[in-house]
Amino acid sequence: MAVTHVNEDEKALIEAIRELAQERVAPRAAEIDHTAQFPWDIKELLAQQDILAMPFPTEYGGVGASELAIVMAIEELARCCATTSLILAAQQLGALPIMLAGTDEQKRTYFPRLASGEWLAAFGLTESGSGSDAAAMKTRAVRQGDKYILNGSKRFITNGGLAHVNSIFALTDPNAGTRGISAFIVEDDFPGFAVGRVEDKMGIKGSQTAELIFTDCEVPAENLLGREGDGFKIAMMTLDRTRPGIGAQALGIAQGALDLAVSYSKQRVQFNRPIAENQGIQFMLADMATKVEAARLLVYNAAEMIDRGDVSFGKYSAMAKMFASDAAMSVTGDAIQVLGGYGYMKEYPAERMMRDAKITQIYEGTNQIQRLVIARALLSEAL
Going by C-alpha positions, the residue among 68, 158, 206 that lies closest to residue 364 is: 158
Catalytic residue among 10, 127, 304, 364: 364
Coil vs helix vs strand at 80: coil
Going by C-alpha positions, the residue among 124, 122, 125, 99 that lies closest to residue 111 is: 99
Query: Which residues make Cβ contacts (< 8 Å) with residue 235, sequence separation at least 6?
Result: 97, 125, 134, 169, 181, 183
CA-CA distance, 367 to 382, in Å (whole number)?
25
Going by C-alpha positions, the residue among 83, 104, 96, 67 that lies closest to residue 183 is: 96
Burial of 73 (0-12, 13-18, 19+ CB in 10 A): buried
Question: CB–CB of 53/62 below 8 Å?
Answer: yes
CA-CA distance, 138 to 325, in Å (whole number)?
30
Burial of 198 (0-12, 13-18, 19+ CB in 10 A): middle
* Segment holding 170, helix H or strand E: strand 165-171
Question: CB–CB of 42/32 below 8 Å?
Answer: yes
Note if 364 is an active site residue: yes
Question: CB–CB of 175/242 below 8 Å?
Answer: no
Q: How many CB atoms lie within 10 A of CB 24?
A: 16
CA-CA distance, 132 to 366, in Å (whole number)?
7
Catalytic residue set: 364
